[in-house]
Amino acid sequence: MSKVEDLKKHLKRGKVYRRSDLTKWSNSVDRHLDELLKDKTLQKLSQGLYYFPKETPFGLVPPEDDVLVRSFLKDDRFLLTSANAYNSLGVGTTQLYNERVVYNHKRHGEIKLGNKFFLFRMKPHFPKKATPEFLLVDLVNNLDSLAEDQKEVFKNVTNKLRQMEVKKMKKSLADYGNTKTKQLLTPLLSY
């Protein structure tokens, strides 16, 4: 059995690998990576990041976004979201956005992984899961970048605040709100 075939035995479909992950199974990683890319066993996602695609009757499946981001960051501490999540709040946002936002502690900027672009934003605090309270605060944090009528959306946010649990909202605002968002929302939570 060749060294490349031996390396293939360790790979799992649907998994993203860093070059460094493969060094434990190969004594000539770069040469073996070249062979695995040529025979389409692996797909290159970005510098030092590779994917062993899952196969379906419809073709090869791209990696799940969270698997891709976790491998890229080498960290589980991130929140993957999008401005599309604001649409669930019922505050008048209806646009569909193609941008995925990754709140994390390590990277900042727009990064292409595979054929997808991710906007990495370094934040000191973010929840493990996007709650309605977090999304409302995050929406106001990013109101200037939305395509909707900002005044109308903010008016709807003020109405939505009256339906939210005040204690949870205050905590979310304290933990995740930027200075401007805190100035705008704090007076509205004093009822």
C-beta separation of 93 from 83 below 8 A = yes
Q: Are residue 153 and residue 128 in the same domain, yes or no? A: yes
Question: 110 and 44, same structural domain?
Answer: no
Residue ranges for the chain with pLDDT beneath 50: none
Classify residue 59: in a domain, yes or no: no
Q: Are 90 and 168 within one domain?
A: yes
Cα separation, 40 vs 48, in Å, equals 16
Dihedral (Cα; 123, 125, 130, 131), 10-degree rounding: -140
Integer Cα distance of 40 and 160 in angstroms: 50
Same domain for 38 and 86: no
Nearest in space to 183 (alpha carbons), one of 173, 175, 171: 173
Distance CA 175, CA 79 (A): 15
Pair of tokens at residue 121:
């934003």
> Same domain, yes or no, for 16 and 87?
no
> pLDDT tens, 103-150?
999 999 999 998 899 999 999 999 999 999 999 999 999 999 999 999
The reply to whether 21 and 79 lie within a common domain is: no
- The dihedral through the CA atoms of 185, 78, 51, 57 has a sign that is negative
Q: Which range of residues forms the domain containing residue 148?
A: 66-186
Residues 95 and 178 in one domain: yes
Q: Does 112 share its domain with 144?
A: yes
What per-residue confidence (pLDDT) applies to 191? 60
Give pLDDT, residue 42.
94
What's the number of domains the chain is made of?
2
Write down the residue that tokens 């727009």 correspond to.
Answer: 110
Same structural domain for residues 48 and 112? no
Residues 162, 70 share a domain: yes
45 plus 134 within the same structural domain: no
Whether the CA torsion 44, 50, 54, 55 is positive or negative: it is: positive
- Please tell me the pTM assigned to this model: 0.86
Same domain, 108 and 158: yes
45: which 2 tokens? 């996602």
- Name all contacts of 61-68 with Cβ < 8 Å and 24+ positions apart: 61/14, 62/114, 62/115, 62/116, 63/14, 63/16, 63/114, 64/14, 65/100, 65/116, 65/118, 67/14, 67/15, 67/16, 68/16, 68/113, 68/114, 68/116
Q: What is the pLDDT of residue 95?
A: 87
Q: What is the pLDDT of residue 27?
A: 87
In a domain, 132, yes or no: yes
Residue 191 domain-assigned (yes or no): no
92 located within any domain: yes
